[in-house]
Structure 1
Amino acid sequence: MRLAIGDVVRDRTDLVIGTVARIDYNAPRLVLMHVPGGFYRPVAVTDLEIVRRYSKPLTAKLRLAAVLVLVIALLTAYVAAHSVQLLGGSWLLMFMAALGGYQMHEIAFRLARRLTGPRRFRV
């Protein structure tokens, strides 16, 4: 199981929901869970169930970067499809060229977001 600090988890023994506060490497496979009321409790990893992954909220710069990548990807898709059309390609080849041009930028952006996201720990 891969956990990040801030993931929302549920303890299977008594169904208490909390967030991961700390991953304890001294004790074998224990996670410190922050539960409502301001308390912390150690929970075995085998008793945890992931409810929701933590993700950073988008900043203004990241939103602007996402919009710019979208515009550049759409422009690349148009240029690729138009070039294939001028060369006499079929509609299927035009579609595949446009999809490839778009996905090239989208995959790069998604990979960059994944590399700069919260670190996941194997527990």
Structure 2
Amino acid sequence: MRLAIGDVVRDRTDMVIGTVARIDMNEAGRVVLTVPGGFPRLVAVADLEIVSRYSKPPTAKLHLAAVLVFLIALLTSYIAAHSVQLLGGSWLLTFMAGLGAYEIYSIGFRWCCRLTGPRRFRV
């Protein structure tokens, strides 16, 4: 299981929901949860069930980067599809060239967001 600070988890023993406050790895494999009321609680990793993941809200810079990547991807897609069409390619080849050019930027942006996102620890 991969956990990050701030993930919401459920303790299977008594069905209490809490957020991960600290990850202590020792021989017992315990995780410190903050349960409602602000009380810390030690829970075994085997007794945890993930309810939801923590994610940072997107910033204005990330929105701007997403829009720029989208516009660059559309421009590149148009250029690739138009070039294939001018070279005499069929409609399928034209479509695939445009789709491939768009997906290069789309996949790159998703991987960049994933690599710079919150760290997860294997417990």
Under a length normalisation based on structure 2, what TM-score does the superposition of the two structures give? 0.95
- Tell me, yes or no, if structure 1 residue 87 matches structure 2 residue 80: no
Residue 14 (structure 1) aligns with? 14
Q: Do residues 30 (structure 1) and 22 (structure 2) align? A: no
Local SS of the residue matching 1:13: coil
Q: Give CA-to-partner distance per residue, 1:20-69, whole Å, 9 cap, x none.
A: 11001235311111111111111111111111111111000111001110
Matched, 1:114 2:114: yes
TM-score normalised to structure 1 length? 0.95
Alignment-derived partner of residue 62 in structure 1: 62
- Secondary structure of the residue aligned to 1:118 is coil
Provide, for residues 67-116 of structure 1, a one-character-per-residue CA deviation record: whole Å limited to 9, x for no partner.
Answer: 11011111111111111111111111111111110111111111111111
Q: Which amino acid aligns with 1:2?
A: R
3-state SS, counterpart of residue 98 of structure 1: helix
Uncovered stretches (5+) of structure 2, i.e. residues with no partner: none
Paired residue secondary structure (2:113): helix
Change (3 A) 1:34 1:27: farther
Amino acid at match of 1:82: H
User: RMSD value over aligned CA atoms?
Assistant: 1.0
What count of residue pairs does the alignment treat as equivalent? 123
SS in 2 for 1:119: coil
Once the two structures are overlaid, the 10-residue window that deviates more, 22-31 or 52-61, is 22-31
